[in-house]
Every structure is written in structure tokens, then in C-alpha cells.
Amino acid sequence: MEGSDSLKKSLAWLHGVINGKIGHGLEAIVLQRLRVIHAEKGFMRFGFIVPNIVSDVDGNWSVGALASLLDVIGIVTIYSFANHITSTVDFNVSYYSTIKIQEHVEIKSKVSANRGKLMHVVVEVRREGNGEVIAVGKLWTASNKLTFAQ
């Protein structure tokens, strides 16, 4: 893990959300079993086992829970790059395949554009093993000039 101040703050915030100390609790549910594999400024890679609690009626990963995970990971990745909180202003998810609960996935998130107050991040979810794309989230965020310390 590369050690910048913004990276450390973003990972501390993520762990607070996962542990239910920050946020509304919904985030803690959808992020259960998320683990950071690699993190650097503007890029993160995670391992994730889809928990039972995020299942739809067919035993697949609920698209709503998946979208929530993509949004949180995107914001954390942008914070690691920009060192301030941003708000999602445009969010697009493309779903390519379903995935069952208890399956393993790899998630990669990368800041792809910096336009001053506007930033763009792409979050990609792939099935572990064969690399099949499950979903891709694209987020544009806007700066609101706050930091986690404020």
C-alpha cells in the first residue's frame, strides 16, 4: 500500500463504513467481506465474497446492493486521489452478468479523469478465476470542499 495522507484517510473511512461506525448501516451490510488487496492514490483493488444478506429472490447478488458497493468504492477511490469529499452527480452502471451469493469477485477502481471540481472514476467487478465482467460503474463526482476531518 502506497502511503499518502489522502490514501490513509480514505482507507480509514472505508474501514469505518465496513465496521458500521460511519454511515447509515446499509453500507456496512453491502460491504461485508470486502477486503483491500492493493491501494494507491487513485487506484484500488479489492477481493469480495458476495454475502447471503445481499441476495435477490433468485439467490443472485442484488443489483441494488451491487450499485451501492460501486458508489462507495468510487467515492473512496476519488478521496484517495483528491484528499476531499466529493458527491456523486452522475452514476451509470452496466450489468453484464449475474453472480450467485458466496461467489468470489475482484473489484478494481481507478480515477480516470480530473477536471478540477469534477472527477470521474470507473469501478469494474469481475468474477474471480475466469475474469468475466459482472458490472462496470462509472461515476462523475463534484467537489464540495469538505474533508473527513471537518
36: which 3 cell numbers? 483491500
pLDDT recorded at residue 62: 96
pLDDT score for 137: 98
**pTM confidence score:** 0.89
Grid cell for residue 37: 488487496
Cα–Cα dist 11/136, whole Å: 22
The three cell numbers locating residue 47: 477481493
- Three cell numbers written together for 115: 477536471
The helix/strand/coil state of 123 is strand
**Full set of structural domains in the chain with CATH:** 1-143 (3.10.129.10)
**Residue closest to 143 by CA, chosen among 75, 86, 78:** 86
pLDDT tens column, 119-140: 999 999 999 999 999 999 999 9
**Is the pLDDT confidence value at 113 over 90?**
yes
